[in-house]
């Protein structure tokens, strides 16, 4: 069976065996297969008769760092042409899961001629939801306006990210139509539209004209039911739970126990810091010393510093002064201030503690932060300590004190620990390449 030449760099095979391989000529070239009515794009590859799925096209797009977006566009158009509702919904979920991908599609489609036929399909009967969403990024403003109008006529949650992008459009007719429609959807059905709106709009807030969407997002969230905001707290996009926490804190419907739980157990450092600060502030106002002690005992430094600051405001200086050797430099600084208030000389304490058999890393760092150059002699025995992290910390402390014994430190370049070697090279002023 021999292939026939179609005249546009696309090999086609007679029935029943069908296989095509598209060679890139120019991004705007597209032709319609006369046999099946399928649209064949120059940017995709079809191997052994099997077109790439949306997932495969997305993987190729990601691996190319956005250079092969055309492959994904073609895959989406094929799914839309199939009319399969489940496949169309799955395709929407795939591309809207990452807000940055929606923005990338918008930038690509706006600058390419690959969508030259989309406006014809949009005005005809062959435009499905995916084609309409893609047409919303067309380079022609009139086409974008028609696409926005069609999406708002039959609104769907999965199409909302494309409407949000158009809220930042440079053409006022397109921008105003998208804004009016999205505001109505957010306030009428927050349980349906608030979460996808938050995930995309918080990503677009740095765009020019993106502030309006964020303001509407806060307004809608402020009036939303608690159950809707709890759904936002479960989002995988870190900015969304932070946004929901901020809204709930302003509304005052977060209990102290909930804030403590978020501060102690949440995986997002930024949210832990916000929750810890809010919980410590509430504990200070209500005199809940037990809550402050619980937060101060957790393993997250950003939470502990808020709790210890709360204990300081309540006058519990003795508890804070016992943390002179803490692993956090900020907490050590607070502990030194507490020690001064309670009559303890922090520098003398460090000098004594660093002479112990196995001083902690916080003790060594504390001496470097508050000691003097002559205190470097106390660290010389630690240069031969059996623990590599102690040797490295001692070298770093000597560098901070400007008391590096070059003759003793230079041989440590041959230390078996890379951590120690990096510290030695830095102390000797040599670029570390380990």
Query: Does the pLDDT value for residue 78 go beyond 50?
Result: yes
Q: What is the pLDDT of residues 90-99, one digit of tens each?
A: 888 888 888 8
Torsion sign (Cα): 423, 424, 427, 433: negative
Give the other-Cβ count within 10 Å of 149's Cβ. Answer: 14
The enclosing H or E element of 380 equals none
Residues 6+ apart with CB under 8 A from 320: 308, 311, 312, 334, 335, 338
What pLDDT is attached to residue 95? Answer: 85
* Token output for 228: 């809707």
In angstroms, the CA 349 to CA 101 distance is 55
Asked if 329 and 336 count as a contact pair (C-beta separation under 8 A), the reply is no
In angstroms, the CA 279 to CA 260 distance is 6
Q: What is the pLDDT of residues 37-51, one digit of tens each?
A: 444 343 444 443 457
Query: Does the pLDDT value for residue 27 go beyond 60?
Result: no
Q: Length of the chain in residues, anyone?
A: 434
* Token output for 352: 């004594």
Query: Does the pLDDT value for residue 114 go beyond 90?
Result: no
Q: Which of 76-85, 120-129, 217-226 is the most confident on average?
A: 217-226
Q: Say which range, 23-32, 301-310, 393-402, 409-418, has the weakest mean pLDDT.
A: 23-32
Q: What is the pLDDT of residues 151-202, one digit of tens each?
A: 999 898 999 999 999 999 999 999 999 999 999 999 999 999 999 999 999 9
Residue 430 pLDDT level (bands cut at 50, 70, 90): low
pLDDT greater at residue 4 or residue 304:
304
Q: Say which range, 117-121, 127-131, 198-202, 214-218, has the weakest mean pLDDT.
A: 117-121
Q: What is the pLDDT of residues 261-288, one digit of tens each?
A: 999 999 999 999 999 999 999 999 999 9
Q: What is the mean pLDDT of residues 218-235?
A: 92
Q: What is the mean pLDDT of residues 395-401?
A: 95
SS3 32: strand
The number of CA neighbours under 13 Å toward the Cβ of 430 is: 13
Helix, strand, coil percentages (3-state) for the chain, rounded to 5, are 65, 5, 30
């Amino acid at each position: 069976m021999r292939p026939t030449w179609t005249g546009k760099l696309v090999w086609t095979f007679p029935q029943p065996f069908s296989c095509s391989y598209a060679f890139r000529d120019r991004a705007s070239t597209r032709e319609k297969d006369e046999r099946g009515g399928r649209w064949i794009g120059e940017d995709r590859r079809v191997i052994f008769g099997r077109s790439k799925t949306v997932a495969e096209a997305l993987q190729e797009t990601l691996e190319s760092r956005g250079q092969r977006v055309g492959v994904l566009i073609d895959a989406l158009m094929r799914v839309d042409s199939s009319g399969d509702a489940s496949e169309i919904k799955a395709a929407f979920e795939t591309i809207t899961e990452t807000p940055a991908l929606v923005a990338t599609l918008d930038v690509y489609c706006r600058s390419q001629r690959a969508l030259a036929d989309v406006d014809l399909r949009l005005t005809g009967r062959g435009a499905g939801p995916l084609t309409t969403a893609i047409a919303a990024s067309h380079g022609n403003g009139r086409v974008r306006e028609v696409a926005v109008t069609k999406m708002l006529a039959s609104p769907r949650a999965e199409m909302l990210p494309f409407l949000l992008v158009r809220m930042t459009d440079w053409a006022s007719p397109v921008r105003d139509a998208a804004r009016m429609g999205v505001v109505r959807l957010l306030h009428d059905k927050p349980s349906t539209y608030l979460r996808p709106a938050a995930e995309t709009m918080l990503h677009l807030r740095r765009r020019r004209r993106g502030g309006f969407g964020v303001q509407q997002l806060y307004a809608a969230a402020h009036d939303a039911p608690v159950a809707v905001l709890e759904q936002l707290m479960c989002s995988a996009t870190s900015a969304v739970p932070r946004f929901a926490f901020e809204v709930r804190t302003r509304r005052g419907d977060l209990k102290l126990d909930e804030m403590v739980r978020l501060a102690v157990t949440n995986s997002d450092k930024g949210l832990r810091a916000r929750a810890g600060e809010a919980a410590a502030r509430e504990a200070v106002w209500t005199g809940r010393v037990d809550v402050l002690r619980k937060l101060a005992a957790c393993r997250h430094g950003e939470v502990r510093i808020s709790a210890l600051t709360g204990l300081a405001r309540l006058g519990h200086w003795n508890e804070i002064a016992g943390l002179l050797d803490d692993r956090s430099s900020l907490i050590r600084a607070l502990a030194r201030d507490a020690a001064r208030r309670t009559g303890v000389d922090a520098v003398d304490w460090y000098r004594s503690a660093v002479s112990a058999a196995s001083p902690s890393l916080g003790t060594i760092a504390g001496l470097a932060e508050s000691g003097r150059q002559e205190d470097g002699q106390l660290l010389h025995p630690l240069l031969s300590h059996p623990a590599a992290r102690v040797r490295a910390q001692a070298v770093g402390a000597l560098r901070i004190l400007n008391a590096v014994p070059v003759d003793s430190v230079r041989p440590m370049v041959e230390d078996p620990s890379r951590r120690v070697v990096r510290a030695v090279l830095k102390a000797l002023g040599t670029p570390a390449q380990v």
